[in-house]
Amino acid sequence: MKVLITGGAGYIGSHCNRYFVSKGVETVVLDDLSDGHEEAVVVGRFVKGDFGDKDLLAQLMKEEKFDAVIHFAAFADVADSVARPSRYYNNNVTKMLTLMDAIVEHGIKYVVFSSSAATFGEPQYIPIDENHPQNPINPYGMTKLIGEKILQDYEKAYGIRYCAFRYFNAAGDSRDSLIGEAHNPEHHIIPLIIRAAQGKTKQLKIFGIDYPTRDGSCLRDYVHVDDLADAHYKGLLYIMKHNCSEDFNLGSDNGFTVLELVHKFEEVTGKKVPYEIAERRQGDPASLVASNKKAIELLKWELKNSDIMRILQDAWNWEQNKRY
């Protein structure tokens, strides 16, 4: 089997690329390196380019004869999407249409899509299952919801089969610290906690302490990136075997507040984390926790790495040994 991985030099994409190759899949990574790192592509073929480049897509798809496309490439900063929505609609929606048209033109039948818990908006109940209403409260979440709608329409019109994964909070890094999380600027909570502990930033900013949670800080569900990679592999095999389309929520079915995460990190590492309380950020729901029952039942997905202490230890090890 051969797959094209868009955004495969990014955080989640690079872990999936490595995992797919470990399962005997031939991979080609397409990434423009706007937020990815060529050093993260430790296996497979790497092509530097834009997933919205129609000519490049045609060339690659003609040359390589892909069985499936794993589509990660996207801008993914909630706050930035509020400030610059046009950037997100152009990249995450317009370019996705170009990609999907190329997929149809070249007879590729299977797509695995990186969606997001941000499609749900403010939860009406916890944990959030696949039937929960989708009402995004920020442009990033809306672009991911539109991406899901595109897939639904392309299935009806062209017979594309897809698997859409709504991640909650991807976290952790490879156990051997060969690849890991590296954003510039960094906007994910665990790397920000680590930078504050290392003294690279003065203090961790905790945005809001008046949410309806256990301690007033936002509550999130953290799932190890290696477990996400396993879900993508199993999801692709599932839709190929059953010739169907499915969507899945991927999380640990458990949540931690930001303050709890800080204390867990201090427990794991023995390092103190200086922090300050700041104003709420626009577009941040109070709580996001996934129901992962569907993925466990249909995909036989197992959470082998998503214990919060394991996540924090892997992240701490990576930050001390970063290659990029």
List pLDDT tens digits, range 152-162. 999 999 999 99
pLDDT of residue 185: 87
Q: Is 16 exposed, middle or buried (0-12, 13-18, 19+ CB in 10 A)?
A: buried
List pLDDT tens digits, range 281-309. 877 889 999 999 999 999 999 999 999 99
Output the CA–CA distances (angstroms, integers) from residue 141 to 34, 96, 191, in the order listed. 20, 15, 22
Q: Which residues contact 171 (CB under 8 A, 6 or more apart)?
A: 188, 190, 222, 223, 224, 225, 311, 315
Q: Which residues contact 247 (CB under 8 A, 6 or more apart)?
A: 115, 130, 148, 163, 164, 165, 166
Task: Show the domains of the chain with their CATH numbers.
Answer: 2-171+223-250 (3.40.50.720), 189-220+253-320 (3.90.25.10)
Q: What angle do CA 118, 119, 121 make, to 5 degrees?
A: 70
Q: Output the average pLDDT for the chain.
A: 97
Paired tokens of 198: 């290392």
Paired tokens of 95: 């370019």
Peptide bond into 127 cis (omega under 30): yes
Q: Is 250 exposed, middle or buried (0-12, 13-18, 19+ CB in 10 A)?
A: buried
Alpha helix positions (H), the chain: 11-22, 54-64, 78-83, 85-88, 95-105, 139-158, 189-198, 225-242, 258-269, 293-299, 308-320
Peptide bond into 185 cis (omega under 30): yes
Cβ atoms within 10 Å of 271's Cβ, excluding its own: 15
pLDDT of residue 284: 82
List pLDDT tens digits, range 74-86. 999 988 999 999 9
How far apart are alpha carbons 127 and 248 in whole angstroms? Answer: 13
Q: Of 183, 190, 313, 304, nearest to 258 (Cα)? A: 190
Please indicate whether residue 206 or residue 283 has the higher confidence score (pLDDT).
206
How far apart are alpha carbons 8 and 21 in whole angstroms? Answer: 12
Of the residues 140, 154, 233, 238, only one is catalytic, namely: 140
pLDDT of residue 156: 99
pLDDT of residue 306: 97
- Burial pattern 31-60, b for ≥16 Cβ within 10 A else e, equals bbeebbbeebbeebebbebbbbbeebbeeb
Say if residue 6's pLDDT is above 90. Answer: yes
3-state SS assignment for residue 5: strand
pLDDT of residue 285: 82
List pLDDT tens digits, range 210-264. 999 999 999 999 999 999 999 999 999 999 999 999 999 999 999 999 999 999 9
Is residue 140 among the annotated active site residues? Answer: yes
Half-sphere exposure of 38 (CA within 13 A, CB side): 6
**Cβ pair 172, 166 in contact under 8 A:** no
Please, which pLDDT band fits residue 89 given cuts at 50, 70 and 90? very high
Q: For a pLDDT cut of 70, what percent of the chain falls above it?
A: 100
Backbone φ and ψ of 172, nearest 5°: 85, 175
pTM of the model: 0.96
**Cβ pair 215, 137 in contact under 8 A:** no
Q: Which residues contact 150 (CB under 8 A, 6 or more apart)?
A: 93, 96, 97, 100
Q: Of 239, 179, 229, nearest to 37 (Cα)? A: 179
Sign of the alpha-carbon torsion through 251, 253, 258, 260: negative
pLDDT of residue 1: 98
List pLDDT tens digits, range 101-138. 999 999 999 999 999 999 999 899 999 999 999 999 99
**Cβ pair 180, 321 in contact under 8 A:** no
